[in-house]
Amino acid sequence: MQFEAPGTMNTDAVVQCVLNRLEIGDIEHVVVATTTGDTGVRFMDALKGTGAQLICVTHHMGFREPNQIELEPMFASQLREGGARVLTTSHALSGIARSISKTFGGTSTTELIAHTLRLFGQGIKVCVEIAVMAADAGFVPAGRDVICVGGSGRGADASVVLKPAHMNAFFDIKVREILCWPKLP
């Protein structure tokens, strides 16, 4: 499925794409990017009864402001109480490389990978990135297909089935299916 434009207005349709794909029965983990936790809670509610383990990946501490996290405590509690796993960690496709670029200029190889993935949209880039983060944290097994959900800012507008890999084996990642994504402006 392809949406007319990126954005939060696609979130409900992405949820449905994920539910439809889960019906095949070969996926055990759904990895969802969530900034405030709202998108994570929406997926948690929708995934009840599917048997899929939900992993919600947040922005890292200090992403926008030093010592601040954007994940709202109310949503964090709902996610944990609802059985979702919440992962807050450094971003796989920026991390320290972003600090070097901001301070000294230029672009790192990590940022080049991120920019290349954005050729397919921000949501697709996020899907790949959160898969690495979840694999490195031990929340999903490397080498076993998962569904990943990303977005462009808030909400969700892209979903893929992919085989995750650890950061030190990044090029072992295989995007197997694009379930939904937006047309780019």
Q: Output the pLDDT for position 115.
A: 95
Which of 22-31, 66-75, 83-92, 98-107 has maximum average pLDDT?
A: 22-31
DSSP state letter for 16? H
63/34 Cα distance (integer angstroms): 13
98/40 Cα distance (integer angstroms): 26
Q: Output the pLDDT for position 152.
A: 94
Report the length, in residues, of the chain.
185
The two structure tokens encoding residue 85: 């796993």
Q: Please, are residues 150 and 33 in contact by the beta-carbon 8 Å criterion?
A: yes
Q: Which residue has the tokens 């995934």?
A: 47
- The helix/strand/coil state of 86 is strand
Q: How far is CA 75 from CA 14, 22, 42, 97, in A?
A: 20, 24, 10, 30
Residue 67 has φ and ψ, to the nearest 5°, of: 65, 20
- Consecutive H or E run containing 87: strand 85-88
**Domain 2-182: which topology?**
Pyruvate Kinase; Chain: A, domain 1 (3.40.1380)
Residue 159 has pLDDT above 80, yes or no: yes
Residue 153 has pLDDT above 90, yes or no: no
Task: Give residue-wise pLDDT tens across range 64-82.
Answer: 788 889 898 999 999 999 9
The identity of residue 59, as a single letter, is H
183/63 Cα distance (integer angstroms): 27
The domain locations on the chain are: 2-182
